[in-house]
Amino acid sequence: MTAVAQVQALLFDVFGTVVDWRGSIIAELTRFGAKKEIAADWAAFTDDWRGLYQPAMEEVRSGRRPWTILDALHRESLDKLIAKHAIAGLTEAEKGHINRAWHRLEPWPDVVEGLTRLKSRYIIGTLSNGNVGLLTRLAKHAGLPWDVILGAETARAYKPLPQAYLASASLLNLEPAQVMLVAAHNGDLAAASAVGLRAGFVARPQEYGPHQSKDLKAERTWDVVCASFGELADAMGC
Amino acid sequence: MTAVAQVQALLFDVFGTVVDWRGSIIAELTRFGAKKEIAADWAAFTDDWRGLYQPAMEEVRSGRRPWTILDALHRESLDKLIAKHAIAGLTEAEKGHINRAWHRLEPWPDVVEGLTRLKSRYIIGTLSNGNVGLLTRLAKHAGLPWDVILGAETARAYKPLPQAYLASASLLNLEPAQVMLVAAHNGDLAAASAVGLRAGFVARPQEYGPHQSKDLKAERTWDVVCASFGELADAMGC
């Protein structure tokens, strides 16, 4: 039996792999700014917001702060950036609405059809640093046909800590080798692979916009390497 | 705003409310017995199996044993009943297969259409004592279109402990009053209601077979009382 033939569940990184967070957030902020007549560099604002993502999670991963869900980390980062970019006059309700833009991201065009094919043969779910409430609403917004919502919150550990991957397999009654992580990020796949999961790379060379410098291609011979969820479904025999 | 108008998520008890566990298990054991030429009173065997359900969970709820998932409790009960009913000659693989009959239960006839209607307007998910792996496979088997799989394992507490309900609401970023538990069991609804959830009763007078003596009707004026998931969808404006 090949390594991939043992796989019973495909769990997906979400931000960047499934959804175009950057394009979606820029578009939503741009619309919001136009309506509110607030001028700002919304692309820079978005990149700054994502720039605070890893440092915020690292505070939790390191144990320096107790478990905190991503929605709360996003909100703290947003408050910092509203100050940094000198954006005035936002109500609490408006700040909450902007923060929930992460619940309304758009999928890459190949995603829904590819997931629907994969769902016919495998358990498909999330393995994301997003919290359950975020991922559940995002799935409804984007029409993502997940069987199960798993990730950092159900594991109580942010990727790339081993527990994030191992707890997700365990929650499905599966051994690590029976689960494939699908991600557009070599580092995420390396961490999953190190604890025994299978690894599927899907290239998303536009995730960080026109000047993306990393994760342009697979940096190892992962179990599957492809350019879309359609190719992934082909490779997995769906 | 009425109480029900605040509801954003409907979370469902599963065994008995969504699926006909008794009819499904009896049918599967009967087929298995015929194929293996094992004579037994499979209806009594099934009722005995369910009879060990609450005592097994109570060991965990009481703190006398550490957290243990329902698949493992089911398996321990199965081993006791194989001895009690003097059933000989089963392999480990066969015992595992029988235990996973709880992953292959059939829904009541009104369920899939009703859930599909409710899903268009609400987050729909489980709030079950079943573990995530069980509930995920059951959903695929029965075609249940859940948005999210929640319950005892994600809360680390078996119903009717308050934490089972409160953690499920919290995982969805919702207040208890924004979540309705839907169940065919007055006791489950009483526990959910006591910690602030809304309560929807769906009568399943055949759950325990032809001689059912409890939960034949709503024992309080729950927020919604109905006889099918179609009526529930009507009541919830879907």
CA A68 – CA A65 distance, rounded (Å): 8
Quickly state the pLDDT bin for A3 (edges 50, 70, 90): confident
State the CB neighbour count (10 A cutoff) for residue A139: 24
A201 and A151 in a common domain: yes
Q: Which residue of A has its CA nearest to B131?
A: A171
Chain B residues touching residue A154 (CB < 8 angstroms)? 132, 154
- Residue where a domain stops, chosen among A63, A79, A103: A103
Q: Are A192 and A177 in contact (CB under 8 A)?
A: no
What is the model's pTM? 0.97
Residue A153 to residue B171, Cβ atoms within 8 A: yes
The confidence score (pLDDT) of residue A110 equals 98
* Among the listed residues A178, A176, A201, the one whose alpha carbon sits nearest the alpha carbon of residue A190: A201
Give the closest residue to B190 by CA, choosing from B168, B159, B234. B159
Is B143 in the same domain as B223? yes
Residues A42 and A145 in one domain: no
Instruction: Chain B: give the shortest CA distance to residue A70, in Å.
Output: 11
A116 touches B at CB < 8 Å = no
CB contact under 8 A, B123 and A140: yes
How many Cα neighbours within 13 Å face the side chain of A216?
Answer: 6
Domain count, chain B: 2
Please tell me if residue A72 touches chain B, with a CB cutoff of 8 Å: no
Chain A positions touching B123 (Cβ under 8 A) are 136-137, 140
Residues B61 and B14 in one domain: no
Q: Give the alpha-carbon dihedral of B141, B170, A9, A208, to 10 degrees.
A: 130
* Domain endpoint, select from A87, A103, A119: A103
Q: Is A97 on the interface with B (CB under 8 A)?
A: no
> By CB neighbour count within 10 A (0-12 exposed, 13-18 middle, 19+ buried), where does A64 fall?
exposed
Residues A182 and A90 in one domain: no
Closest by Cα among B43, B62, B28, B10 to B172: B10
Contacts of B156 (CB under 8 A, 6+ apart): B67, B163, B167
Residue A214: CB atoms within 10 A of its CB come to 11
Binned at pLDDT 50, 70 and 90, residue A205 comes out as very high
What is the domain range of residue B197? 4-20+106-235
Burial class (CB in 10 A: 0-12, 13-18, 19+), B23: middle
Cα Rg of chain A (Å, integer):
18
Chain B residues inside the 8 Å CB shell of A151:
none
Residues A46 and A76 in one domain: yes
Chain B residues within an 8 Å CB radius of A136: 123, 125, 147-148, 172
**Same-domain pairing of B84 and B146:** no
Disruptive mutation site among B68, B69, B124, B147 for chain A (greatest number of A CBs within 10 Å) = B147
- Domain of B32, CATH number, reads 1.10.150.240
The domain boundary, picked from B43, B71, B103, lies at B103
Q: What is the pLDDT of residue B3?
A: 77
Chain B residue nearest residue A130, CA to CA:
B171
Does B180 lie in the same domain as B148?
A: yes
Q: Is the dihedral of CA B74, B80, B86, B88 positive or negative?
A: positive
Report whether pLDDT(A57) > 70.
Answer: yes
d(CA B100, CA A196): 25
Inform me whether the C-beta atom of residue A178 falls under 8 Å from chain B C-beta atoms.
Answer: no
Strand order in the sheet with A123-128: A148-151, A123-128, A9-12, A179-183, A198-202, A224-226
**Do A85 and A179 have their domain in common?**
no
Cα A188 from Cα A199, distance rounded (Å): 9
| pLDDT score, position B1 | 57
Task: Give the nearest partner residue to B133 out of A131, A137, A172, using CB atoms.
Answer: A172
In tens digits, chain B (238 residues) has pLDDT values of: 577 899 999 999 999 999 999 999 999 999 999 999 999 999 999 999 999 999 999 999 999 999 999 999 999 999 999 999 999 999 999 999 999 999 999 999 999 999 999 999 999 999 999 999 999 999 999 999 999 999 999 999 999 999 999 999 999 999 999 999 999 999 999 999 999 999 999 999 999 998 899 999 999 999 999 999 999 999 999 9
Amino acid at A210: P
CB pair distance less than 8 Å for B136 and A154: no
Residues B111 and B70 in one domain: no
Same-domain check for residues B34 and B141 = no
User: Which long-range contacts does A64-71 make (Cβ < 8 Å, 24+ apart)?
Assistant: A67/A156, A69/A131, A69/A133, A69/A134, A69/A153, A70/A102, A70/A129, A70/A130, A70/A131, A70/A134, A70/A152, A70/A153, A71/A99, A71/A100, A71/A102, A71/A131, A71/A133, A71/A134, A71/B173
A174: nearest CA partner in chain B: B133
Task: Convert the pLDDT of each residue in A64-74 to its tens digit.
Answer: 999 999 999 99
Task: Output the pLDDT for position A1.
Answer: 58
Please give the C-alpha separations between residue A71 and each of A18, A74, A129, B39, in angstroms, as whole numbers: 18, 5, 10, 56
Residue B175: φ, ψ to 5°: -75, 155
The alpha-carbon radius of gyration of chain B (Å, integer) is: 18
Give yes or no: residues B130 and B187 share one domain: yes
Q: Do A132 and B172 touch (CB under 8 A)?
A: yes
Of A105-109, A152-156, B1-5, B209-213, give the lowest mean pLDDT range. B1-5
Residue A192 has pLDDT above 80, yes or no: yes
The owner of tokens 């009717």 is: B160
The structure tokens listed for A160 are: 């790339």
For position B211, what pLDDT does the model report? Answer: 85
